[in-house]
Amino acid sequence: MEPVKLKGNREGLILKLDLKTSFPILCENIMAKIKSADAFLGDNREIIINTGNHVLDSDQIEELTRVLQSLDLGIKKIISEAKEEREVEKPINSQQKIELEQSLSEGSTLMVRKNLRSGQSVFHEGTVIVMGDINPGAEVVAGGHIFVLGHLRGVAHAGARGDKDAVVYANKLQPTQLRIANLITRAPDDESVAPNEPELARIKDGMVIIEKYSLYKEE
């Protein structure tokens, strides 16, 4: 099997990888394959990654993201056929990683590496990072911060033990209910207005506010 295959279907362009090949060599093959097929890519600058019967670890995802960014490409999604075809979390870019590390409070951090579906709940004493979506009917309760590297459409309660400095971040913030410490807010009446950029919820002047995300600094 070729280490790297590039093909297209109705979903878009698919880069199929053979993870039996050493990862540095695989990245070299990816660059060569993309460069040779540049005319085939056209205006489509997002690629679906298929890893066959393997799942990439976080370091491999970060390196793969870097390689594709150097070719002016992004990752639409990553799928694996280990048991069944499934979508896995989108990678965190380097800037997000730095900002998250700077924002985390002291104490334990729980990484949830999947989407949370209706009926699923996560409870943790420290900070919770969800590398996926929190769907309607799902709930995350954290003693510290909550970071959602996807779409937050369920219930999020940060600072559950009374920490009013806790924050809730999401790439798309549309919670059915959002709480920080003992303060609560709900989804806007016009649910058709979806956020098109990351947002951060925090307590300011005794109420929960939601604002465009930038590197959070205490006032």
Select the more confidently predicted residue: 68 or 98: 68
DSSP 2-16: -SEEEEEETTEEEEE
CATH code, 83? 3.30.750.50
pLDDT of 144 > 50? The answer is: yes
DSSP string over 72-127: T-EEEEEEE-SSS-EEEPPPPPHHHHHHHHHHPPSS-EEEE-SPBPTT-EEEESSE
Query: Is 72 domain-assigned?
Result: yes
pLDDT at 33 over 60: yes
Task: Report how far residue 219's alpha carbon sits from residue 217's, in angstroms, rounded to the nearest whole number.
Answer: 6
Counted domains in the chain: 2
pLDDT tens for each residue of 152-170 = 999 999 999 899 999 999 9
Residue 114 has pLDDT above 70, yes or no: yes
Q: Does pLDDT of 86 surpass 70?
A: no
Mean pLDDT for all residues in the chain: 79
Are residues 127 and 65 part of one domain?
Answer: no
Residue 60 sits in which domain range? 4-88
Q: Is the pLDDT of residue 89 over 50?
A: no
In a domain, 161, yes or no: yes
Shared-domain flag, residues 24 and 119: no
pTM of the shown model: 0.51
pLDDT of 136: 92
Domain endpoint, select from 88, 108, 125: 88
